[in-house]
Structure 1
Amino acid sequence: MVQVCLNGARGAVDGGVVPVSPEALADAAAEAVAAGATDIHVHPKSPCGQDTLSPRVLAATLAAIRARVSVPVGVTTGAWTEPEPEARVLRVRSWTSLPDHASVNWHEPGAEEVAATLLDRGVGVEAGIWSGTEGAARFAVSPLRTKVLRVLAEVTDPDPNTAEESARSLLSDLATDHGRPVLLHGENGGAWPVLRLAGRLGLTTRIGLEDTLFLPDGERALCNAQLVAEALVQYGWAQRLS
């Protein structure tokens, strides 16, 4: 699986290539899937460009993307979208249209409650375990650890010289009895080194404008599809998929 992360918390300040509206996200999703992406992660945006858990915005975003592609679509539930855990749970309960999966950052307050609510509603949970946090330790003792869809090993080290080492350390911390698939990815300067490591280890991964705005050679990426295509070519996945 190669997941494309279409926008993340980025917005207009990061340039016009970052999709924000439901229509732009749908276009980006269709292009990325055509390039080889098999799963989508998206941050629905409010009219002012902020990440939101609004049921109205979520429904419009999912409808637009699903009208263009047939692969699974997931969303964020990051605490920045709704800082109070109780309010975040209520937002998830209020959704009228459900994503296929949603990421839950295990180091954030309320993670267990949000994840349990998603599971109760039939939404797959991506357990986001960030390096440099207590996420791995909390996940190791979570009663939900064997019930999540997958583990997102999220390397927050942006230094290309040390990101791989940080990734290996995080993977070691995640060596528990959860038995769930692991998706390994990095961000910013660490995005490509960590993606290359994922390829060598045979792990699933993701790429997109949420994780990096640049290609491996340092040139600015023109779109999510370009990032997906580059990832596939680098590791021979294009040949394996053909």
Structure 2
Amino acid sequence: MLQVCLNGPRTAADSGAVPMSPAALAEAARQAVAAGAEDVHLHPKTPCGHDSLSPRVVGPALEAVRAAVDVPVGVTTGAWIEPDLPHRRVQRIRSWTLLPDHASVNWHEEGAEAVATALLERGVGVEAGLWSGTEGVRRFARSPLAPRVLRVLAEVTDPDAGSARDTARRLLAALAEVPHGRPVLLHGADGGAWPVLHLAGELGLDTRIGIEDTLLMPDGTPADGNAALVRAAATSACGLPGG
């Protein structure tokens, strides 16, 4: 499965290719799915460009994207959205009037268990984000929710193209010690995005690509949008050697 991550916490200041509004997210999703994406992950944003879990922001973004594509659509629940009020994320989730198919929960963040529980109570699939260089895997191993998540996002935060694959292998080795029984989606970020995507293809794992993870094509040139990244990933993820 190839997921597209449309925008992440990036803003227009990072690149003109970052979709911000519901209409822009919908068009980016439509093009990405046409290029080969099978799942969508997005960050609903306020008009000022801030990530938000407000139902007045999440609802319109989901409605617009679902009108454009017929694949599962998920959102973030990152702690940076409500950094001083960890329980506010739970309150926001309980107030959603339109539900995503899934939502990512970073297990190293404060309040992860409560956020995941709130999502499961509402019938929303949980993507368990386990970041390299954090306590995420260790905390997930102790969680009674581990067997109930939709999938595990093995997130390689090492941005160095030369070492990201090794970091990914160490993360996967640690995850192999956790009896969760859930599918694993492996992906990287910035300079590590393409090497890790190639590794995922070699290992037969789900993966993702998009403006959230990288602004650059495999040859280092700026990507003009998510669809270009997806097209490149769809033709290179399976069986190619990594960088």
TM class by shorter chain equals over 0.9
Distance 2:212 2:15 in 1: 12
Q: Are residues 1:227 and 2:220 paired?
A: no
Match of 1:112 in 2: 113
* RMSD after superposition: 0.8
Name the count of aligned residue pairs. 237
Distance 2:236 2:159 in 1: 20
Distance 2:142 2:103 in 1: 21
Shift of the alpha carbon at 1:106?
Answer: 0.1
Shift of the alpha carbon at 1:236?
Answer: 4.9
Distance 1:118 1:139 in 2: 16
Shift of the alpha carbon at 1:235?
Answer: 3.4
Amino acid at match of 1:215: M
Match of 1:240 in 2: none
Distance 1:200 1:219 in 2: 24
Match of 2:128 in 1: 127
User: Structure 1 regions of 5+ residues with no counterpart?
Assistant: 238-242
TM-score (norm 1): 0.97
TM-score (norm 2): 0.96
Distance 2:237 2:98 in 1: 36
Residues 200 and 237 in structure 2, CA contact (< 8 A), matched pair in contact too: no
Match of 1:144 in 2: 145
Residues 53 and 81 in structure 2, CA contact (< 8 A), matched pair in contact too: yes
Amino acid at match of 2:223: A
> Which ranges of 4 or more aligned residues in structure 1 deviate by more than 6 Å?
none
Match of 1:173 in 2: 174
Match of 1:9 in 2: 9
Amino acid at match of 1:33: V
Q: Percent identity?
A: 68
Q: Are residues 1:82 and 2:82 paired?
A: yes
Match of 1:216 in 2: 218
Q: Out of 175-184 and 83-92, give the one that drifted further.
A: 83-92
Distance 1:102 1:19 in 2: 19
1:93-104 alignment, distance < 5 Å: 93-104=94-105
Structure 1 counterpart SS, 2:126: strand
